[in-house]
Structure 1
């Protein structure tokens, strides 16, 4: 899908704070073995995703296998909270959802662990291979069908991880370029500075971005359970199926949102997402406005996350958030140049 000689630099798709299985306290490891009914005799850490903790394939004394992810509430309270939410979501996913089956869970108040069936598959290649990308795009249609209407009440889920322009404007003292931790950070984060760089463009269009953000509550409505984090590092491919893993950020909304998330991230492989949005069954025929609203919200969340992360944050996570947010912002800029709306004339 992109020339290997001119392929873009892709950020690391695995967090920098993973720990090994043998670094988990012995009593926790033993308890997980008891849940599985057999002693754990081998573990191999796995790439993909940014959970701070362990993510490993386990081999059991009785020949069985499983996958475990675990985190400490003392070391990574946010991740432990996400694990607790994922336990609730994974336990409620219908059997027809192409997701690993939750076998059991462990929570002693400090350590939280989820134990899943092992999927004998691999992450998709990055940059994307065309055949794998087409498989995943096709799978999103079946995923939306199975999850509409949502099998989980929206009140049991967290809010969508979207939006950030209003907050960035406040953190930047009114959206002036150059503010520390706010809009002024975007030049470095989202692809360079200069007169036509992201920071200058955002500063000149901040009111419009905030307006798009305010329209989200009325625009991004639907009854589909969305994954909310549909990136290549949350996919597992087998010869027969596409599995979607890591569900803590699920929310209920329009079926097309996961497709837009995937398409915007695929632009990091050199892909133009616009032709796909015109052809995909979940986005074909959509008015421009809801797509623009989602892209604005998506970019705002990710770029605010990157701009305000601080020096103690996992730099792999910050780099990925900046890259994904920058990709969504670039696509939005291109759309607003080519498809101006009747209510706001925005030029790039």
Structure 2
């Protein structure tokens, strides 16, 4: 797993004084310490706060002038977080601030840590079991899809139309040689992605917090409504970066073991397409950590898909 924290974070003290003051007013106390946290790639603040009265909170914030995409994600996450039902294992949104430029979200502070990378078997089992419970809890979706994002899936057709085939080869020679096949798989994906489950949409290790008695899914701006197996396949494809065989887990997991083979193939193609296109189109100013992660995750999905397709041809 590459570096799992973005390289363009700023600190609590880097925020304008008026935004810090507004956040303290929402919290009802003075912030006496702010510790930046690992995990995730948003440009802006991601810090645990300690208040003078002993209270704690977690804040994430971004400027729509400096990082308009991140500010847009933050605004969407406010809407999603406000609508998550009680009992969902996600940090509770306490307050939100939006002055038109700066957007800040204040969450309850979760005592926990990111999963170990490479994955430890017991932790992966624990997270996969939590993903099953989460899918059951969020089916049918409690949130109107109109509030949500489009799934972060697909990109092969767009990459080809943009003339990006030349940028593809350095990332994956196999994908470059099989671009037409990947486009066909991607364009056949819609029926297998359809469903009624509210999905996290970005379920990677850097968006998971392990508490003593709970597994929390954090960062929900990319939530969408679809088939319940999608978050599990996202997680398993990334686990292969730890040397885990995702196919072995997929054959046993309750949300994937009974899927027709093509349902997994088309998801992996669409999943890799989004990530590889992101990496292929990254400009010189892009966060190198984000590009490195997108590249590694896209390649991991492609490697699993390639093995699956080779097994089909052999049989």
Alignment TM-score, normalising by the size of structure 2:
0.98
RMSD after superposition: 1.1
Identify the match of residue 289 of structure 2 among 316, 320, 324: 316
Residue 128 of structure 2 corresponds to 137
The 4+ residue runs of structure 1 with deviation greater than 6 A are none
Residue 337 of structure 1 corresponds to 310
Identify the match of residue 66 of structure 1 among 57, 70, 95: 57
Matched, 1:216 2:189: yes
User: Which digits, 9 at most, give the CA deviation of each residue in 1:9-57, with x for residues without a partner?
Assistant: x311000000010000111001101101111111000000001000000
Identify the match of residue 258 of structure 2 among 264, 285, 308: 285
Deviates more, 1:125-134 or 1:103-112: 125-134
Residue 245 of structure 2 corresponds to 272
Residue 3 of structure 1 corresponds to none
Matched, 1:106 2:79: no
Distance 2:99 2:176 in 1: 47
1:17 to 1:275, Cα distance in 2 relative to 1, 3 A: same
Matched, 1:21 2:12: yes
Residue 248 of structure 1 corresponds to 221
Question: Where do 1:4-43 residues align within 5 Å?
Answer: 10-43=1-34
Deviation of 1:278 after TM superposition, in Å, equals 0.4
Residue 184 of structure 1 corresponds to 166
Native 8 Å contact 2:168 2:176 kept in 1: no
Distance 2:231 2:293 in 1: 18
Distance 1:331 1:185 in 2: 21
Distance 1:95 1:183 in 2: 46
Distance 1:202 1:51 in 2: 28
Identify the match of residue 114 of structure 2 among 108, 111, 123: 123
Unaligned runs of 5+ in 1: 1-9, 173-181, 190-197, 341-346
Residue 325 of structure 1 corresponds to 298
Alignment TM-score, normalising by the size of structure 1:
0.88
Question: Where do 1:195-234 residues align within 5 Å?
Answer: 198-199=172-173, 201-234=174-207
Unaligned runs of 5+ in 2: none
Distance 1:270 1:185 in 2: 27
SS of the residue corresponding to residue 188 of structure 1 reads coil
Deviates more, 1:201-210 or 1:233-242: 201-210
SS of the residue corresponding to residue 136 of structure 2 reads helix
How many equivalent pairs are there? Answer: 314
User: Which digits, 9 at most, give the CA deviation of each residue in 1:307-336, with x for residues without a partner?
Assistant: 001111111000000000000001000001
Identify the match of residue 301 of structure 1 among 242, 263, 274: 274
User: Which digits, 9 at most, give the CA deviation of each residue in 1:159-199, with x for residues without a partner?
Assistant: 10100000111223xxxxxxxxx23333433xxxxxxxx32
Distance 1:317 1:242 in 2: 24
Matched, 1:50 2:32: no
User: Which digits, 9 at most, give the CA deviation of each residue in 1:209-252, with x for residues without a partner?
Assistant: 11111112222100000000000000000111100000000000
Identify the match of residue 150 of structure 2 among 140, 144, 159: 159
Residue 235 of structure 1 corresponds to 208
Distance 1:203 1:151 in 2: 40
